Structure 1
Amino acid sequence: MTWPTTGIPASLHGSSYLSGSPWAAGTWSEVRRHIPTALLPELADCVYVMLKPDALAAHVQDAFFGALSSAGLQVVQSWPCLRSGPREYEELYKFNLTLQNEQNMLSHWWLTSRQFTIGHSIALLVRVPEKVRGERTAYEYFGELKGPSNPYLARPGQLRYDLRATNLALNMVHCADDPLCTAREALIFGNTAQVIAGLRCSADLRAGTTDRDWAERAAEQFAQAVRAVRAPRVDVRLVPVLTTVKLRVRGLASEEVQQATASTYRSFLEHADREDLSVGEAWKGFEYLSEQECRLLDSLSPTDRAGALLRELADISRHDLDFARRVATEAAGLGIPLTAWDELVLDTALYYRSHRVTGSSSCVE
């Protein structure tokens, strides 16, 4: 049985925007041009997954790979996306960049896409065995494992919760929506040989003809991709980034401000260093400490440039995208410029500030 008008086998037809669009038939023809017919059924089990630059900067790749293995998933192919640039990422998300898609990313693509100019990604084909997913499709299973686009809505056991994703723009993991999307997206970031090798491994696993060392080779292939990317370690969590920015500004404030806030900043640092807190829990604690700092700084009424900025940073009600940009400008003027990652964390977190309060999410990714 094939899906009407597209020629796609019903077993490979999914619910993505692409699969229901006029572009499905042409995409399917292109897929068939690259992938042997005998391997096409493997697309039902293999999900294209991308570990984004923020995940690699945070050095959570081992936790990510371990989570997949613990869930019984099989990484049949992985490779670094070293030569991928704005064109490839725009191609990846192009069906989210149209008004015809109700869950489009048009209003914030300029912000969401920035991380792809800072670091590299790693692409994977991940097989979801039937014994793991049960009655669900591989894509339903992995979508649930990945968690909501807004990490504040994620729960323990979901990747975006466990890996401590930052916000809707910096949410660490992407996955394809259905088999057609997997084939298309894998071919954007990988070559035909890589995609075929992954699907062939999936077929061998299904048939039980793989050797005992395949899992070890898969882990080594992923480790080599990580080494090839060589992402410097960066904290992309909002609370540690904000705490670091505030600490640097405080170091330039008056002696009176520094002495009066010494105890408060010990608490800030202890809180920022906690890795056991969810993104929501970390923010609530930061909010409480900021309220205390606000009252303290109000009693001092600092007039120096650094002290005044510190007071503004303590007032969370002022936090929006315009404020994030002004903080970057003021910090540079004080001789403590922010890094590209620091700016991106602040810009995205303050742009999506309502998600921390309402848990809302304006699009799906």
Structure 2
Amino acid sequence: MTEVNITVRVDYERTALLLIAPDALARQLAEEVVLRIRASGFRVVEHRLWTRPPEGIEDFHRRNERVAENGQIFALVEKLFTFAPFVVAAIEDAKPDGRSVHERLAELKGRGDPLFAAPGSLRHDLMSVNTVLNIVHSSDGPADTAREAAILLSSGQRAPSEPGFTALLRSVRAAERGLTRESRLFPDVLGGVRARVLAGLWDELPVEARRRLDSWCARYGVRGLGGAAGGALLAELLPVGWHVDALIDSLAGGRPTEDIADLRRLEITLDPWEYLVLATSRFYAPNSFSDFDGARHHRVQTRGLVPSPPAADDRRNER
């Protein structure tokens, strides 16, 4: 049977490209993204589900200046796009208000750094992890839409294109059915790895330190252990020279140091999601959503793991 390809003529002045990223599908947020897009007055012209990266996606990644310049960040972005499926759609504005479709979609998705994303935006409300793991991407203008669509919509053998939100939702559900839902945000990941390190060191801890850690974790949980207060507790209770976060930084791609040699005997490893969260957070400061630490959005600073936050007007890292 001959495959039928349907070519959709796209007016790039009136159309933006929306990418629902692998982290969104891994967290099973894609359906919510689609519903929010529909409720905001957009229309789906065509879409495509990718279960593996298409040829030429390297050019798509290099559109971001910092990703293009830094080989480590580029490798992490490539790893993200092999971690889970992703969905791309051409979006038109069904309720124009004088702004371009690109401007309207950019407002809905929110700033690339979720700390600066406005309430009501996707990246704020759905709690994106950092500037790499930030749920969605949209093209900035007509020229970007044309370039990105050539890679992400037109590349390779085409299945018949289906317009409309119903078809897009079917594709999203098909992709998410095969995935185990990932619910861990940065403090959950960091807290979980810190907890595994503590378990490995448990027999070496003083009795009073064990009691305090057990009582504190019973009250605030693993997420609390991944916050600033949890880091301060570890620094207070662990003997001098036990650099737990230096070990975690090394596992996430940082340079190993001599002061973690004793901890390496614990043979702690990271699962793929933990690695993506911690490794990307070495370059782009993450948001924490820990209620214990007193704010819904704030930075978590860890030894070597998180860089200083960028200035509020720095858009070089926007995606």
Coarse TM-score class (shorter-chain normalised): 0.7 to 0.9
Q: Secondary structure at the match of 2:47?
A: strand
Instruction: Give the TM-score, by structure 2 length.
Output: 0.73
Whole-angstrom distance in 1 between the partners of 2:274 and 2:252: 15
Query: What letter matches 1:155 in structure 2?
Result: A
Give aligned-pair identity as a percent: 22
- Which has more radius of gyration? 1
Query: What letter matches 1:263 in structure 2?
Result: S
Q: Name the counterpart of 1:51.
A: 20
Q: Name the counterpart of 1:294.
A: 235
Q: Name the counterpart of 2:139.
A: 176
Q: Name the counterpart of 1:362.
A: 316
Determine which of 90, 103, 112 is the counterpart of 1:140: 103
Q: Secondary structure at the match of 2:36?
A: helix
Q: Secondary structure at the match of 2:88?
A: strand
Determine which of 205, 212, 219 is the counterpart of 1:260: 212
Count of residues in correspondence between the two structures: 285
Q: Name the counterpart of 1:7.
A: none
Q: CA 1:247–1:264 in 2, change beyond 3 Å: closer, same or farther? A: same
Contact 1:55 / 1:173 at 8 angstroms: preserved in 2?
yes
Whole-angstrom distance in 2 between the partners of 1:319 and 1:153: 29
Whole-angstrom distance in 1 between the partners of 2:57 and 2:265: 34
Whole-angstrom distance in 1 between the partners of 2:261 and 2:19: 33
Where does the alignment leave 5 or more consecutive residues of structure 2 unmatched?
Answer: 1-5, 285-305
Displacement of 1:123 in angstroms is 1.3
Q: Secondary structure at the match of 1:149?
A: coil
Whole-angstrom distance in 1 between the partners of 2:277 and 2:64: 22
Determine which of 179, 190, 194 is the counterpart of 1:242: 190
Contact 1:152 / 1:355 at 8 angstroms: preserved in 2?
no
Whole-angstrom distance in 1 between the partners of 2:265 and 2:105: 46
Query: What letter matches 1:348 in structure 2?
Result: T
- Verify: 1:344 aligned to 2:276, yes or no: yes
Q: Name the counterpart of 2:290.
A: none
Query: What letter matches 1:340 in structure 2?
Result: P
Cα displacement string for residues 249-298 of structure 1 (whole angstroms, at most 9, x for unaligned residues): 1212234343331122234426459xxxxxxxxx8xx2134224423x15
In the TM superposition, what are the counterparts of 1:1-365 in structure 2 within 5 Å? Answer: 39-41=9-11, 43-85=12-54, 87-96=55-64, 105-107=68-70, 108-129=73-94, 131=95, 133-191=96-154, 197=161, 201=163, 215-227=165-177, 230-255=178-203, 256=207, 257-269=209-221, 271=223, 286-295=227-236, 297=237, 301=239, 308-310=242-244, 322=254, 333-352=265-284, 353-354=306-307, 356=309, 358-359=311-312, 360-365=314-319
Instruction: Give the TM-score, by structure 1 length.
Output: 0.65
Query: What letter matches 1:346 in structure 2?
Result: L
Where does the alignment leave 5 or more consecutive residues of structure 1 unmatched?
Answer: 1-33, 98-102, 202-213, 274-282
